[in-house]
Amino acid sequence: MQSNRKFVLDMEPGAQEPPQVVPLQKKGASWRLGGLAAIATLCIAGAVLFTMHGQVSHEGDQDEDLRHTLRQISLKAKAAIHLEGEYNSKLSNDSAVWHSEVGQAFAQGGLKLEDNNITVSQSGLYFVYSQASFRINCHKASRDSHEQFLHLSHTVMRWSESYGGVWKPLLSSVRSACKKVETEQDTGEHWFNSIYLGAVFSLNRGDKLHTMSNEKLLEHLEGEDGKTFFGVFAL
């Protein structure tokens, strides 16, 4: 029987408070499995927290530090994949297009990039993470919006036979990017914002992971190294 124990790890770049690990209890789950996940998550949190807050840096530097730390941890795992993303409307209209052989991206230990999804080769505990970064001109982006604020969204979806062979959200976050600009004059001002997601999950062999972002703002996705990424590594 599949365990639904999950440990949510909040490590958004620029956060001032230390990461929090929130255990979600389910009757009958193994305490040994939960303990292992908690220890692994705390180790990851400590490593990322040290990297992010060990020095004063700009948001761009924090994004780069976070990506670098996660990649270094991934390299030590037996099974790991780290992908770099970009916007390409010809290949996808709801997600970043992911690459496993550019920049700092890599794949090892059976985890694969297939049809813009990550495929899991062995059942076990995995740390799943993703970040989407946006550079938005609020004046241009708000022209077709009737809402007061522009909202960014980023979601990691999971396909599993345990779900009956359908896609369901695994991680998700929504945040306000900027307030709608009412003036006719375009000042050329841009807003920068990132959404980071990360948590430990028990995944099954054959599971697939996919990301989705706000379609209306996807064209504002940042494709530079370290800005937008997606990865998984075994614990």
pLDDT tens column, 73-120: 767 778 999 999 999 999 998 999 999 998 889 999 999 999 999 999
Contact 210, 232 (CB under 8 A): no
Separation between Cα atoms, residue 20 and residue 3, nearest integer Å: 21
> What's the CATH code, domain 6-234?
2.60.120.40
Between CA 82 and CA 86 the distance in angstroms is 14
Three-state DSSP class for 210?
strand
Secondary structure class of 108 (helix, strand, coil) = strand
- pLDDT, position 175: 84
Question: In the chain, what are the domain boundaries?
Answer: 6-234
Q: What is the value of pTM for the model shown?
A: 0.68
Q: How many CA atoms lie within 13 A of 88 on its CB side?
A: 9
CA atoms within 13 A on the CB side of 152: 24
Q: Is the pLDDT of residue 54 over 90?
A: no
**Tens digits of per-residue pLDDT, 105-161?**
999 999 999 999 999 999 999 999 999 999 887 766 555 556 667 788 999 999 999
pLDDT at 228 over 70: yes
